[in-house]
Amino acid sequence: MNRAVLHIDVNSAYLSWTAVEMKKNGEAGDIRLVPAAIAGDPGTRRGIILAKSEPAKKCGIRTAMTVAEAFRLCPDLKVFPPRHELYAAYSERLFELLSEYTDVIERFSIDECWLDYTGSEKLFGPPREAATDISRRIKEQLGYTVNIGVSENKLLSKMASEMRKPDRIHTLYRHEIEEKMWPLPTGELFGVGNAAADTLAKIGLVTIGDIAGTDISVLKSILKPAVGQMVYERANGIDDSPVLSGEENERKGIGKSVTTPRDVGSEEEASRILLSLSEQVGFSLRDSGKRAGVVSVQLKNTVFKTYRHQKKLPGPISSTSDIYAIARALFYEMWRGENLRLLGVSLSDLRDMDENEQLTLFDEPKNNALEETQDYIRERFGKGAITRGTLL
């Protein structure tokens, strides 16, 4: 049986969900039709743009741009604060609708997922037909639009959904990649960042097709073996990874990484980033009612060499301070003093919060009241509502 995989991506999710909620509450206009954005702190014009409308995009406003920059480009920009509790509720409604088509759904983020549609054709028709039905129902029942990529694997369905937006359905099967994918710039290949694209450009590889037609040994020599292998396979549409759902996906754990806009070469700056990442994964861990038995740290330097260390814990943890302490220890085990461009913290071996915790001889029961209060504030007023002083 041929595989069928759909990739669903909500168009400007935070802004779309905010717009739908405002209309439900009697707002006459639609912020999706005017220059508008969701950003950290509209009042002080601090923070970055998290989502923007199509009219804002036409003004030159981009995701991750600072609010101050955005206002310089568009003085009439309407900016709204993030409402993460609202987004979580809208996300759940989306996944409830999608679960009617298959029970094999891998959540990639709050507004993005893969569906393994293999075998569902007998119930809902061919993949493209099902995608059309899903798109229509989301628009009519939930009030916003999505992009859907249709293919035979996760990579190509993801690449398809990234094509022309918004409110589109695209197919990208292996027999279509020469026409649809190979002419694209190398930087648009899923998993290839700006630095790797620049390195490839130096030897004349400027399109995905250039990569696909290059001897794999050349790619391995300039990008390191594992990266070269990955880039070659992706350029040729090769991806056998399964769509992981439910408990399978949960076992993968919770992770967060950041590619820094500039080289990170100091212990102090790296520690701040690790603390921020620890806070984010810790919040997600507690929000899901879990504790973690393994903490992992990933580093990537400026020549793309990646280091990973992990620690299996004697007992599961959920505290940000515990996660950060272990992450820092792992960082010092592998950091060689070189400049870094990526840092990541991930948690795995997840267990339910209500499972009995086995304390070691020297452990004391922890009082997590402070972190519970911080989590409540973030859930109620948004993740930017409370911040550690060291991260300001």
Query: In the beta sheet, which residues pair with residue 299?
Result: 307, 343
Token pair of 287 as six digits: 């929000």
Q: Per the residue annotation, which of 112, 152, 279, 371 is the catalytic one?
A: 112
268 counts as catalytic: no
Look-up: residue for tokens 């569902």?
120
Cα dihedral angle (152, 156, 158, 163), rounded to 10 degrees? -120
Helices (H) and strands (E) in the chain, counts: 16, 12
- Give Cα 276 distance to the centre of its chain: 16
Omega of the bond leading into 166 within 30 degrees of 0 (cis): yes
- CA 169 vs. chain centroid, Å, equals 21
Helices (H), the chain: 13-24, 54-58, 67-73, 84-98, 121-124, 127-137, 154-161, 177-180, 194-201, 208-212, 216-223, 225-235, 246-252, 267-287, 320-334, 369-381
Beta bridge partners of 258: 343
Q: Which residues are catalytic?
A: 112
